[in-house]
Amino acid sequence: MKKKISGTVRELAYYSSLGLSVALAIFIGLFIGLWLDRIFGTSPVLMLIFLGFGIAAGFTNILKAAKRSKKL
């Protein structure tokens, strides 16, 4: 019984941190793009590229969570 409860709590912790990891991936991509734009003077170009990378990384985390939930 305790093993089942601890596994459930572990799964809840994983899925509750999923939103934070998606948001962090997007913001990290955004800030890296803004920083590189400031260095190279390519105003919106690198920000948009790295924002796209961040969004892709966020959705990759969501897909991994979906695959993990199907295994359960």
Total number of domains in the chain: 1
**With a threshold of 0.75, does the pTM exceed it?**
yes
Distance of CA 35 to the CA centre of its chain: 20
**Residues 12, 54, 13: CA angle, nearest 5 degrees:** 10
Per the structure, the complete domain to which residue 57 belongs is given by 2-71
**What's residue 49's pLDDT?**
98
**pLDDT tens column, 11-55:** 888 888 999 999 999 999 999 999 999 999 998 999 999 999 999
Nearest to 44 by CA among 34, 55, 29, 54: 34
